[in-house]
Structure formats: C-alpha cells, structure tokens
Amino acid sequence: MSKELTIVSDLMCLDCGSVFPIRRKTLHQKKEGHIKDLYCPTCKTETKHFELKDKDKFLWKYSHLTDEDILNSKKDETTKQAILLLRKRELESEKSRSRVLKKIPSKG
C-alpha cells in the first residue's frame, strides 16, 4: 500500500486575516469556503477559519472584481468577508514589504 497523499490547503482567520497552511489528506478534501474552528496564534483564541484552498488562486479568481462588485455579488456573506479581508491583508503586507526593502532596518 502506498502512503496516503496529503495536500496543503490555506485557511484564513476571519477575525484577523492571517493565513495558515494546513495539510489535508486528499481523500478528505473540503470545498473552498468551508468554515473550520481553529486556534489562531494571532488572535490567541479559537476563531472561524475560511478555507481558501490556495490563497493566490483565490485572490486571482476575484482579481477582476472591485470591492464594490464583490459586495454586490450573490456570494454568501462569509465569502465576501473573506475576499475583502484577504485583499486588505495582501495590500498591507505588500506595503510593509516595500518599506522593508527601501529602508534598512535600524532596530532589532
């Protein structure tokens, strides 16, 4: 018998937007948008996590839509919340990355 294959799936905390990759057995795949209660190290408590499956693909899938388009779409509220939260997070992390590149950190 071969070893069971696992794949990595991205889950996002719906409170703070942190993304955590988790391993899943391929036989137990959950759909995108699956909600799971997980401990979030950022919130330091158990929160609802939204299953993105693949963060980059998820972002790309909605990249042609504006925030307003998403709010007006027929998606369920949790999915809308997840898309907007993830976008905001990505924007913020891009900003902080470029800040780090421009400026040599002076404190440890």
The answer to whether 49 and 20 are in contact (CB under 8 A) is yes
Among 40, 82, 85, 86, binds Zn ion (CB under 5 A): 40
Taking the C-alpha atoms of residue 50 and residue 107, their distance in angstroms, rounded to an integer, is 35
42 and 35 Cβ atoms separated by less than 8 Å: no
Q: Give yes or no for a contact between 11 and 38, defined as CB atoms under 8 angstroms apart.
A: yes
Query: What number of chain residues touch Zn ion (CB under 5 A)?
Result: 7
Q: Is 42 in the site for Zn ion (CB under 5 A)?
A: yes
Is residue 45 near Zn ion by the rule CB under 5 A? no
> Whole-number minimum distance, CB 45 to Zn ion, in Å?
8
Distance CA 77, CA 70 (A): 10
Stretch of 4-12, 17-25, 72-80, 92-100 lying at the interface with Zn ion (CB under 5 A)? 17-25
Question: Binding residue for Zn ion (CB under 5 A) from 43, 71, 91, 100?
Answer: 43
Q: Cβ closer to Zn ion: 44 or 102? A: 44
**Does 13 interact with Zn ion (rule: CB under 5 A)?**
yes
Which 3 state secondary structure label does DSSP give 64? coil
